[in-house]
């Protein structure tokens, strides 16, 4: 009698301060069978070249991971049709408006980020040490940025942010509150469309309702753009920024170098993103036909998960991958923003968000350091991100 092999449970450790040991064990088998949170089987892909192959091949579909009856990484906590959000935006003819709104070179957005990061740092200095860098800087910076882009009141950020714990939860089973939160947030954004005080992207979307070329759009469709941009945007920028700053605090020699040479900050951002361990799940794709992936045959309908942190530490692409080298010539080749057709369109915004934050912190708080030993930080996978619950710092 043959015993079926024991499947590896995925995801791995929730800690964002160390690479899970399972990753090095996967180097010899870069396509490995795993069991997901939802209890389904999936293929976990961990080498850089194979991860890139999956991400750029349209036969590995993102949209179809939300189809009924397919294997899942975790239960859906947003409506299935929203999974392929940027594809929906493009299909509705709204891509141009969205890309314009998130372009850091347009509308004084970079200047706003620079000024607001400095304003928040001044608040930290006025509060006095220790402070929770997450609660008092990286969270509000991400939330306020997306309120500014959408053209909605900053005071409404806590209301929208209160939905994110559920909307971006790694759960084995559907959660009733997810739909309740979604309906509430859609109603909020729909209300903003009709409010003359609204500006920014939501005002631009509202104005399209008078254009015959956009007669196919409903208020719900436009509100969905606002809800998804706030949620996905805040979670992504907050997680990446939190862990970028954490990485610098764990490497004081690099922090000191950036304090002394602020011109190196833009180039350092890609290396900080390469080693960033905030992504707590795999990038999911569904095989649309039988395909070969390395030495493994993937069957139609099987779930494939791209393990970004493994690809970003693949020694064949990034020599000495565990050393943080802010002068690394190919650091921008990392897959932290995806690759191929679903490469994140907000990459310039995300990088500028991190850059302006680090510039504000290194300029005004050069002595910044963790106020507690790293082993006292509480790590949990929240918002599908590995981030500390609190990040106490002093200076």
pLDDT in tens, 136-191: 999 999 999 999 999 999 999 999 999 998 888 888 888 888 899 999 999 999 99
- Pull the structure tokens for residue 94: 């709204």
Residue 261: pLDDT above 60?
Answer: yes
Do the beta carbons of residue 109 and residue 103 sit within 8 Å? yes
pLDDT > 60? residue 103: yes
Specify which residues 381 forms β-bridges with: 386
What's the CA gap between 222 and 92, in Å, rounded? 9
Q: What percent of the chain has pLDDT over 70?
A: 98
Question: Of the candidates 305, 295, 243, 304, which has an alpha carbon nearest to the alpha carbon of residue 273?
Answer: 243
Position 384 confidence tier, pLDDT thresholds 50, 70, 90: confident
- Name which of 89, 86, 142 is nearest 113 in CA terms: 142
Lowest mean pLDDT among 9-23, 105-119, 372-386: 372-386
**Would you say residue 206 has pLDDT above 80?**
yes
Tokens of 63: 């949209």
Contacts of 60 (CB under 8 A, 6+ apart): 54, 285, 286, 287, 288, 291, 304
331 vs 37: CA distance, rounded Å = 31
Average pLDDT over residues 211-226: 93
List the beta bridge partners of residue 386.
381
Q: How confident is the model at residue 5 (pLDDT cuts 50, 70, 90)?
A: low
Is the pLDDT at 1 greater than 70? The verdict is no
- Token output for 226: 């606002």
Average pLDDT over residues 337-348: 92
The pLDDT value given to residue 2: 52
Provide mean pLDDT across the span 186-211.
Answer: 96
Q: Write down the pLDDT at residue 218.
A: 93
Helix (H) or strand (E) holding 357: helix 347-364
Rounded to two decimals, what is the model's pTM? 0.94
Task: Categorize the per-residue pLDDT at 134 as very low, low, confident or very high, splitting at 50, 70 and 90.
Answer: very high
Please give the pLDDT value at position 6: 79
| 3-state SS class at 4 | coil
Least confident among 5-14, 118-127, 323-332? 5-14
Give which of 149, 154, 232, 160 is closest to 189, Cα–Cα. 160
Do residues 51 and 30 lie in contact, with contact meaning Cβ atoms separated by under 8 Å?
A: no
pLDDT of residue 223 exceeding 90: yes
Q: Which CATH fold would you assign to the domain 8-394?
A: Cytochrome p450 (1.10.630)
pLDDT at 90: 85
β-sheet with 31-35: strand ranges across = 8-9, 31-35, 41-45, 303-306, 283-287, 60-61
Find, among 209, 233, 204, the residue nearest to 139 by Cα: 233
**Among 128-132, 163-167, 204-208, 307-311, whose mean pLDDT is lowest?**
163-167
What are the residue ranges of helices labelled H in 151-251?
A: 157-161, 164-167, 176-193, 200-208, 219-250
From the list 140, 134, 138, the residue with the least C-alpha distance to 160 is 140
Mean pLDDT, rounded, of the chain:
94
């Amino acid at each position: 009698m043959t015993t079926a092999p024991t499947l590896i449970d995925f995801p791995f450790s929730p800690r964002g301060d160390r690479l899970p040991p399972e990753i090095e064990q996967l180097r010899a088998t870069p396509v490995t069978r795993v069991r997901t949170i939802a209890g389904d089987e999936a293929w976990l892909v961990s080498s850089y070249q194979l991860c890139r192959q999956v991400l750029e091949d349209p036969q590995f579909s993102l949209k179809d991971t939300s189809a009924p009856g397919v294997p899942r990484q975790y239960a859906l906590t947003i409506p299935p049709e929203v999974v392929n959000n940027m594809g929906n935006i493009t299909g509705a003819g709204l891509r141009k408006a969205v890309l314009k709104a998130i372009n850091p070179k347009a509308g004084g957005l970079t200047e706003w980020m620079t000024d607001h990061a400095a304003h928040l740092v001044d608040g930290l200095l006025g509060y006095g040490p220790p402070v929770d860098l997450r609660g008092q800087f990286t969270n509000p910076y991400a939330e306020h940025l997306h309120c500014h882009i959408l053209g909605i009141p900053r005071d409404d950020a806590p209301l929208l942010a209160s939905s994110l714990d559920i909307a971006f939860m790694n759960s084995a089973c559907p959660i009733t509150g997810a739909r309740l939160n979604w309906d509430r947030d859609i109603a909020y954004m729909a209300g903003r469309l009709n409010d003359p005080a609204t500006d920014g992207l939501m005002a631009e979307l509202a104005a399209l309702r008078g254009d015959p070329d956009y007669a196919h759009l409903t208020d719900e469709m436009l509100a969905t753009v606002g809800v998804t941009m706030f949620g996905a945007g805040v979670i992504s920028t907050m997680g990446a920024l939190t862990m970028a700053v954490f990485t610098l605090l764990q490497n004081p020699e690099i922090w000191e170098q950036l304090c002394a040479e602020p011109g190196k900050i833009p180039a350092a951002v890609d290396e900080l993103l390469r080693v960033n361990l905030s992504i707590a799940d795999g990038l999911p794709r569904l095989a649309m036909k039988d395909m070969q992936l390395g030495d493994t045959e993937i069957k139609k309908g099987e779930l494939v998960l791209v393990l970004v942190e493994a690809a970003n530490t693949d020694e064949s692409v990034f020599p000495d991958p565990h050393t943080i080298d802010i002068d690394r010539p190919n650091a921008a080749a990392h897959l932290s923003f995806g690759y191929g057709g679903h490469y994140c369109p907000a990459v310039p915004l995300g990088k500028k968000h991190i850059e302006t934050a680090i510039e504000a912190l290194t300029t005004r708080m050069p002595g910044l350091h963790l106020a507690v030993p790293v082993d006292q930080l509480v790590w949990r996978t929240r918002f599908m991100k590995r981030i500390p619950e609190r990040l106490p710092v002093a200076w």
